[in-house]
Structure formats: C-alpha cells, structure tokens
Chains A and B, each alone.
Chain A
Amino acid sequence: MKTFPIQISPEDATKELAEMNQKVVRGLRTLSRLTNDDVQVGTAPKEAVYRDGKLILYRHIPVKPEAELFPIPVLISYALVNRPAVADLQENRSLIRNLVKLGLDVYLIDWGYPSRADRWLSLDDYVNGFIDGCVDFIRESRGLDQINLLGICQGGTMSLCYTALHPEKIKNLIVMVTPVDFHAPAADGAPPGLLNVWGKGMDVNLMVEAMGNVPGDLMNFGFLMLQPFGLNVQKYTDVVDIMEDEDKLLNFLRMEEWIFDSPDQAGVMFAQFVTDFFQENKLIKGEVQIADKTVNLGNIKQPVLNIFAEKDHLVPPPASKALANYVGTEDYTEVAFPVGHIGMYVSGKAQKDLAPLINDWIRAHA
C-alpha cells in the first residue's frame, strides 16, 4: 500500500507551530526597534547637479581626491520601472558605492515620479531630451567630448537607442541585464516570459487614453502575478526564519522598500515602449523611429560591454546576448553572471566582481 501523502505527527506539528510563533514574536521585537529611516535606500553621498522637469542628475561624491579620479565619467541610466536605488540598496550592497571606491566618477539619472502632467512624454523626450541633456551637461561641465554610458535594464535599451543616434558623444557603452531581442526564447528553450505573453495582446494605446499614465501599482501587480503564491505567500512565510536577525531583516525590508517604490509610467512613453519593443520587436529590425530618425544599432561602433544574468527570468540571456548580432562595433565583450535579474545588484558574487569588471574594462578602453 502506498504511504499516505501527509505524515505529520501531532508532536511535530505542535512543535513546528510553536517554534514559528516564537520566531514571529522575537522577530516582531526586532521589527519594533526599527524606524523608517533604517530602511532608506539609495543613500550613497551625492549632489544634484542638473535638473530637467522631474529629472535630477546626481553626481556621487568621490571618495578619492579629484585628481585621482578616472577622467572620463560614467553616466548611469536606469529603467523607468522601479527606482535606481537598487544599484545602491545599502552600504554593503551597492554597485554605485563600489564603482566610486574604485575611483570612477559616477553620475546617476533619477527619472523622478511622472505625474499626470507628464503623460505626453515620449521616447524622443527620454532619449533626445533627458539623456542627451544629461550627457551634454557632463561633457560641458567637464570639458569633454565624450563620456561613458552605463545603461541598466530598460535604461540599457534607451542607452542603445541614444548611442546609436548620438555616437559621437559616447566613448564606451556598457549595458546590464538589457533586453534587445524582445521575442527571444528563454535559455532552456522555454517559451518567452509571461510579461511578453501578456504584453502582446494588450491595447496599450487604449490603456493610456483611458488612464493617462499607467499606475505603478498596476505594474507591480503584474510583476506579482508572475508568481502569485511564491511572491505573496511563500516569501513572507520564509521571512519568519530571519526576522530575529536585525541585519537580515533590514536587508529584506530594504528590498521590499525598493520593490514597492514604483513610479507611474508616463503614458505615451509606455505605449511606445510596449508597442515598438515588446510587441513588434522593432529594435533588432532597425525600425524604431525616434523623432525623425531611425535607430540603427549598427551605428554603435564604440566598445561595448554587455553584462547579463544567467538566471534572469525577466530578461532571459538570449534577449540580451542578441546584441552581438546587431551592433556595429568590433570591440564587443559579453560577460555572464550566475545570478538572477535582481541578483545582479545584490548577490555576493555581483558585489565582489561586478564593479571591478566595469572599472577594469573602462580603464582598458580609455
């Protein structure tokens, strides 16, 4: 006879539940000592140097003397979905702090929180307006013809568009976990991610017409629905095990703070991005039109470093690696990290190796 599928003894169940209760109580005592200030993210010292609308360009305060800084700054362009603080979650989990420690001069674009008044912002505004404004500000203030550009996720896709349209202003291009081929299958031959499947059928222009901007909460709901039980139940069941440990609890809470800090998406930009990139995959077809120009990835002739995550379920590796087939440069480097999309910012491996990789590559392409 087969074994009955559930073999939990009353003694074990009682013990397990009692332990769980005790963990929760001890965890709550830890939690009660924490304040909102303890879970602030994006706290690496920085100064605002330029503004355009809601955009703020920050320069991170160097820890080395100015004379010892690498002379060509790095501008970081993050995605519009979520906030760039993931690159600076806390002191010991911060790509930005690590880059600064290595002597790079780091600038960061903070896109801000679009309001209904920003509904009309388009891909043209983000690429030829905002990014170009930041690049020009840095070039002029530093007396340089070119700077380095580091694009992350959707910010990487925009950086590719920008570099293809303004190649003369970019010395080196680095892209991280960046989607290029939006219809690429997952690495193991599985079908494309659920976001792509859902995105294909959506009438985004109708959504934008009805809502103006696309609410950040709606975007978050979409992300949570990718794994409803894992992300809404199991995650908070598992956290009970680490609640007593203040450091681990703070790590968890800072990540929560980042995850649920989701700006609304400017309507026109959202519709363009979903239609042109997700639905019609125009980037690799050379069909993306920004203002009156076509984005041709073949125009990217400067050195390119493409960093992707091997276990990325949001941007599967083939979606990033496709870049090799379309850029015009002969100096193209691809580096894989054995982590997931978020692990690229917070994993031990990334903390140890990512910033040195970028630093070494930039200095080798001075």
Chain B
Amino acid sequence: MTWREQADSMSKLWMDSQRQLIANWADLMQSGTVMPSSMPLMGAYPDLVEPWRRLYGQSMDSLLADSSSLAREFAQQITTSQATMMRLIEMTTRAWQTMVPRLDAGEDWTTTLGNYMAQVRQQTLDQSKIVNAAKSTNELWVLYLEQLQFLSRPYIEAFKQMPGSMSDTLAGHASSNQLSNLYWTAYQETLGRLVNMPGFGFTRELQQKLLTGFGAWMELRRASVDFQLALATAWETIYEKVLHEMMVRSEQGNPITSIADLTRLWTSAADQGLEQVFRSEQYLEAQRNFVNAAMKYRLHEREVYETFAQLSNIPTRTEVDEAHRNIYELRRELRALKKQLKSVANAATTNGQHAEAPEVARPVE
C-alpha cells in the first residue's frame, strides 16, 4: 500500500474511531442509569470532537450531579484532556494527508516537511485568534476614534493600510514590527504629541489621565499582537518537532502503534519544542513587553477609575491601600515595642527588680 493509501486509511480510521468512540460511549451510558439529554448525530460529522466533548460533558454532569465539587471539576479536566488528545490526533491526520502525496511523488521528506510547515504557518496565523484579536482591536479603535473625531484622521489612514500589512506579516513577507509600527506611528502623530501638552479647563486632569491611559492601551495592544505572534511561532515549532519525530521513528522502523503512543509522542515533543521557544530571546522579549505593558495599563486604568470613584464618594484602591499601609506600619511598631518591653523586663528580672513581662506571644483563644 502506498503512503497515500495509508494516510487515507488513517483518516478513515480516525473518523470511524471517533464515531465508534461516540457510539461506544452512548452504549455505556445507556447500559447504566444515566441517559444523556441529547445525542449527537451518528452520521458524517465535519468535526466530531466537539459533539463528542458535549456528549461526554453531559454524561459526566449527569453521573456526578450529586457528587462533590471536586469530582465535577476533575471530570471536566478529564473531558478537556481527552478532547485535546482527540484534537491532536486529528491534526496529525490532516498533516499526513497533506504531506503524503508529495512523499509518494518521490520528494525528500525534509523538503516536504519544510513546505508543509510553511503552510501550517500560514494556516495557523490565518485561523488563529491573532487575526480575530486584531479585527476586534480595529473595531475598538474605530469606536474610540469616533469619539475623538478631530484626532481620528491619521488612524483611519492607518486602518486603511492595515489589512495589507497584516496579510504581509502573516504571510511572512513583513516582520511583526511593521504591524506594530503601523499603530505606533499613528499614535505618535496624534495622541502621543498631546500627552505632553498642558491641559485646560476644570477637566484637564481627567483629560490628561485619559490620554496617558490611551497611550498605555496602545502600548498594550502592540505588545499583545507581538506576544501572540510569538505564540504562533511556538505552535509552528511544536508541529515541526512532532512531525520530525514521527519521520525519525519511521526511518528507524519504529512506527506508532496505538493512540496512547501517539498522544505521548505529541506531549513529549510539544513540550520540548515549547521549551525551546520559551527560552528564545524573541519570545522572552515579547513576554516581558506584554506583561510590563499590561501592568502599566492597569495602573493608568486605575487612575481613570479612581477619578470617577472620587466623584461618586466611593473609596479608591489607592485610599484603601494607604489605610492598609498605615495599619501595617502600626503593627510593625507594636511588634518592635513589645520586643523592647520584653528585653527591658528580662533585664530587670535578671537584676532582681520586679517587672511584669509583657505578653509577647498572644495565646490562641
């Protein structure tokens, strides 16, 4: 049998196995005391993992309805891991179906793998949340800029350019920096300049906070895009590692013979691939920038919230922190004083004087 036939066979096996898994699960449930509230169709399903996951989850909920919260949480975790396992197998099947025709045509496997990884990169980025996040960012930006019409023109220009730049970036024709810089340039041309301008009128403080907060939000969006691109790169590395490991096993005549074996190979190779990425300077920089940007934005956000809280006579985080700090410092002073009193009392006792030792250790009531 050719590799192509074997890959097709594996794909069929996967579909059949999933149907079998669902049917088998349904049988088990029916033979017990629990009947799921709805059954998935047994016919051809474009994606069998999600229906299976729903069925599995319903059954678990029914089985464990009267059980402890721990049992229910644990069962949920099992469902998630099983679904992930199935998804990994599905991804593997798709990979081989794509690669095998080239291999059958006599292409070197390293070349085939390289070409496939280029496709994965494209698909991962196209379908990943990055694009969705960027789209929603776009919408958020538009909403924001509608409120700041006099500042919006450069951003609208930036948005006009964005789809092209995004496509270039995801296709690997441009660096992620280009995408970030698109936002950044627009910001520098408008609000960035205003941040340092003096405010006016009785709302100047709030204006200033909103503007600096907007800057922090911009920085966070930029860092977020860069971080998600770094994560997408991690997926690419994982995929490559897994498929490479399979090829090596194939060359060694040590093929994968069970679903458990396949899952183990995935988790082991994937974690190794991830660690490699997690240690890379590019990832570390993206992670660092993202966390720092998130923290800075949080601080700016608090400033804005606190302005409104003050107007409404609501205690602010800063005021509560200040109270806590005062209590903390008083407790430290109290502890220090007790220690000093104890030393004095001990010294007096040693010298034969009468002194009542303060109670340092507070007994439990």
Contacts and interface: CB of A to CB of B under 8 A. Distances in A.
Given A2-B250, A31-B75, A8 B63 contact: no
Interface in A6-45: 6-8, 10, 12-14, 16-18, 20-22, 24-25, 28-29, 31-32, 34-36, 38-39
Given A49-B364, A229-B270, A201 B288 contact: yes
Interface in B252-302: 253, 255-260, 262-264, 266-268, 270-271, 274-275, 278-279, 284-285, 287-288, 291-292, 294-296, 298-299, 302
B195 to A, nearest CB: 19
B361 A234 contact: no
Interface stretch (A80-88, A104-112, A204-212): A204-212
A6 B321 contact: no
B274 A53 contact: no
A28 B324 CA distance: 47
A102 interface: no
A198 B204 CA distance: 40
Contacts of B16: 10, 13-14
Given A202-B288, A203-B292, A34 B32 contact: no
Contact of B78 (A3, A12, A24, A230): A24
Given A4-B255, A5-B247, A120-B324, A209 B360 contact: no
A31 B74 contact: yes
Q: Dominant SS at the A interface?
A: helix
B249 interface: yes
Contacts of A239: 78
A140 B68 CA distance: 44
B298 to A, nearest CB: 4
- Among A4, A36, A210, A212, the most chain B Cβ lie within 10 Å of the Cβ of A4
Given A32-B63, A116-B324, A51 B364 contact: yes
A211 B294 CA distance: 11
A207 B71 contact: no
Interface residues of B, number: 86
Contact of B10 (A8, A18, A140, A233): A8
A21 B247 CA distance: 30
A286 interface: no
Nearest to B243: A5
A21 B26 CA distance: 10
Given A206-B295, A228-B271, A236-B77, A117 B361 contact: no
B84 interface: yes
Interface stretch (B126-134, B326-334, B348-356): B326-334
Contact of A34 (B71, B85, B268, B331): B71
Contacts of A17: 17, 20-21, 24, 259
Contacts, number: 218
Contacts of A211: 295, 298
A191 interface: yes
A48 B364 contact: yes
B225 interface: no
Given A31-B75, A203-B292, A232 B24 contact: no
- Among A3, A12, A136, A203, the most chain B Cβ lie within 10 Å of the Cβ of A3
Nearest to A24: B78
A256 interface: yes
Interface string B21-57: 1001100110010000000000000000000000000
Interface of A: 2-8, 10, 12-14, 16-18, 20-22, 24-25, 28-29, 31-32, 34-36, 38-39, 48-53, 56, 116-121, 125, 129, 133, 136-137, 140-141, 191, 194, 197-198, 201-203, 206-207, 209-212, 225, 227-230, 232-237, 239-240, 253, 256-257
12 contacts: A5-B246, A5-B247, A16-B259, A36-B70, A38-B68, A39-B70, A118-B328, A119-B321, A133-B361, A229-B266, A229-B274, A233-B263
Interface of B: 3, 6-7, 10, 13, 16-17, 20-21, 24-25, 28-29, 32, 60, 63-64, 66-71, 74-75, 77-78, 80-82, 84-85, 88, 92, 96, 246-247, 249-251, 253, 255-260, 262-264, 266-268, 270-271, 274-275, 278-279, 284-285, 287-288, 291-292, 294-296, 298-299, 302, 320-321, 324-325, 327-329, 331-332, 335, 360-364
Given A16-B260, A17-B259, A237-B82, 14 more contacts: A4-B255, A22-B28, A28-B75, A31-B75, A32-B63, A32-B64, A38-B68, A50-B363, A116-B321, A117-B327, A136-B360, A140-B361, A197-B284, A230-B271
